[in-house]
Structures are given as structure tokens and as C-alpha cells.
Amino acid sequence: MVKMFKYALDLILRRKLRTFLTSLGIMIAVMLMTFILFGMTDLQSAILTQFSSVFKPTDLYVSSQDMMGLSSMMSAPSKEAEKKEQVIVNEEIKEKIEEVEGVEDVYPMFILSGFDVYLEGDEIPYPRSFVQCVNLPGNHSMYTSFKGENPILKEDGIFVSDYVLSFFEISSEDILGKKIYVRSTTSRLLVPTTNKNMISREYVFTVQGVVETSNNAFWITADKGLDILVDIGRFTNRQEYIEKVGYSQILVSTAEGETLEVERYLTEELGLNVISTKTIVDFISTLTSGLAIALVVFGLISALVASIGIINTMVMSIYEQTREIGIVKAIGASNTQVLVIFLIQSGLIGLIGGVLGLTITYLLMKVSDPFLVEILKEQGFGSITQFFHFQPLNAIYITLGSILIGVLAGIYPAMKAAKLDPVKALRYE
């Protein structure tokens, strides 16, 4: 058996280029499969871990609109759904929510977007400036950590995130007590108004704390945020804004075990849009498993194409090796032995493809991993240290799988070779 193995190896090494080209097919299939196994599973869990670190499973984010467009991505748009978006999250709704059983806390939120945010003594505004307005203490679970004296925001206080520190190149000790200017620039503002001619305004805050999170960059109190929105949009008072526009979002903390029921009530009875850990997790799973399925399908297709390649190569080599098959049969090789020699050959092609594919993906992973981690960190996945995880056991399965594909593809040519009549094979030119 070992000798036959060596002989088969010798046969395929005689045609190095062709063996290599044939194994490329298997290689590509293997690369796709390894990517799924080593990348996708971890991508999903990384997103989920990251997500749950800032998103408590008992928290619900309620808004009038489908903020992330999640539900519309998962279902076709309908008039029914459009009607739902007309709901304004006003005081009445807020009170209703407060009365729902299982609701523990209700934090109304506003979002200021499109403002230019400057740090005292710096000319360049912070990009992507969303200012979140919510009365959450700095030690609330939404923030991973808090640095500062007073965790309760004052009227003109502002929390900044660690990203703000790195952008302005300043330490957390130095930024505390500094001024932050939030300026409205008419051209870029994205806030609701009653009047087209908006005024440019500047609001001054004092940095009261540094928080670590992957959400936003700036936080002020809900009341201050509302005042700014009223001011900028030229509403008469807070009440008018709430009645006409409503809260941007309401963070609803629920008692453990009641979350699902509360979510159901808010969506179905009050017609609100609710984002919960569950919706996000479902959405992420749908996305990643969809991606994984697509990759598996591509992997299977390329495995199929690869096996056709192997069949073709092996049939070709029967014609080239006809004489040699005749010779080995004449000197005593049995049909079964010829069969086995051919199966070993095709299995070896599979093995070569598998090992090549694994090696290349392994190297690609090693090279690209730091970059991917960097990108993901920029996107807010701070806790990630490694994107790809090489799993030796799966590598072994993949190798065995590619050998199997090779052997399966080799069955037909091997049977053909085994059945060759030695007398005719010897006469073959």
C-alpha cells in the first residue's frame, strides 16, 4: 500500500503543472469554506458581544420612526407600516408607556444632529457630531466607564466620549472643565423647524465627564436639548415641540422577564417602533447567516466545479497513461490496484488543493487581521482583538473534506482505468 501510494504520488508529480492547476479549484472552494468557518462565526459573536456591552437586554428604544430601517429591510413596505410612522411620541404616549406593567424607568431623549461641535481653543469641529440629550447619570449601564466628579449632568454640563479625547488629542484630566461650543450652521442642520429662516446660534457647555461607549460622542441633558430644539426651530415653547414633533426616542428600562411583553405592547397596542436587543440580535443573525449561506453556496459550487476539473484531468491522464496501465497490469497489478492508484492520485490532488487553500487563507488571515481589527475598532468594536480565529479541528475537517471530494471525483476515471484491457492498452500508441 505504501509503495502504491509512492507510485501514485510519482504519477501526479510527473505532471506538476496540471496537478497544480486542477487543485486550484479545490483551493478556492476551501478558501471560501475556511473564511466562513474562521471568520463568520466570530463576526457574529463579536458583533453581539460588542452590542450587548452597550445595550442592556432589558432596555428598549422607542421612537415614532423606524430609526435604523430594520423592519423595512426585513419586510416589504406597506400602507399599514407607513401609517404607523405617523405616531408622534408626545407627552401622552410617554405617560402611557410609564403606566405599562413591567416598565421601570422612562428616559426621554432628543438628538441634535448636524451641529458643529468645537472644543475650546481648537479650530476644527468634531466630525459626525450627534449630540444625544438624555438625563442618564454617567454611571448608568449605557456607558462602559465614567470619569468625572459629578455623574448627574448639570444644565450646561456635557459628557464626551473617549473618541472625542483622541480626536482633540487631549487627556481626560485636561478636558474636564473645558468649554464645548455647539454651533448651528443653517446649511447642514437636520432639525425640525417652524420657520425656514433659521438663525445661527452657539451654545456653550462645560465638560463634566468622560464616558467610554461605542455610541455617540456628546451627551447633554434632555431639557437643555429640548430648549435648543425649541430655540433653533422657533417653536413657542417646549410643549409645542413635544406636541408637534415629539421625543426623538424614549429609552425604556423594563423589569427582567417583562421585556418581551412590554415590547409587544408598545409595538402592537401603541403602534410605536421599538428597538430591543432581540430585534438587533435577530437582524444581525439574519444578516450574518444570510452571508454565510451565500458563501456556503459559492463554496459548494466551486467544489462542484473543482470536482469536474478533477474528473477531466483524471480522464485525460488515463489516455496518457494507457500504455503504462497496460504495463503495470501485464507485470501483475490487479484491477483493484489500478483503481486504488487512480483514487490515490485524485485524492492527492484534493489534498494538495486543500492544503494550499488552507495555507493561503491562513496567511491572508494573519496579514489582514490587524487591519480588520483596526477598521472594526474605528467602527466602535473596541473590545475586538482578533477577527479571524484559526481552528485546527476545522482545518482537519476541511482537509479531509477536500481529500474526499478528490476521491469521489476520481471514482469514475479510476473505474475506467481499472477496466482497461491490458493487451489493447499495450498496443495503444
Give the footprint of another protein on this chain (CB under 8 A): 3-4, 6-7, 10, 14, 323-324, 326-335, 337, 422-423, 426
Cα pseudo-dihedral 413, 416, 418, 420, rounded to 10 = -140
Instruction: Find where cell 459629578 sits.
Output: 150
SS3 state of residue 291 = helix
Closest CA to 311 of 416, 398, 397, 401: 416
Query: Closest CB to another protein among 296 and 327?
Result: 327
What nine digits make up the cell of 407? 476521491
Query: Least distance to another protein from the beta carbon of 5, Å?
Result: 10
CB closer to another protein, 224 vs 329 = 329
Secondary structure string (H, E, C) spanning 225-239: HHHHHHHHHCCCCHH
Q: Contact, 129 vs 115, CB < 8 A?
A: yes
Provide, rounded to whole angstroms, the least separation between the CB of residue 31 and another protein.
32
Minimum distance of another protein from residue 390's CB (angstroms):
38
Nearer to another protein, 14 or 188 (CB): 14
At closest approach, how far in Å is the CB of 327 from another protein? 5
* Cβ-Cβ contacts under 8 Å for 128 (sequence gap 6 or more): 217
Q: Tell me the closest approach of the beta carbon of residue 318 to another protein, in angstroms.
A: 16
Closer Cβ to another protein, 96 or 323, answer by number:
323
Name which of 1 and 393 has its Cβ closer to another protein. 1
Whether the CB-CB separation of 330 and 426 falls below 8 Å is answered with yes
Question: What one-letter code names the amino acid at 348?
Answer: L
At which residue does the C-alpha cell 451565500 appear?
A: 294
Q: Kindly state the smallest distance separating residue 415's Cβ from another protein, in Å.
A: 17
Side-chain-side CA neighbours of 98 within 13 Å: the count stands at 10
Q: Which is nearer to another protein, 33 or 325 (CB)?
A: 325
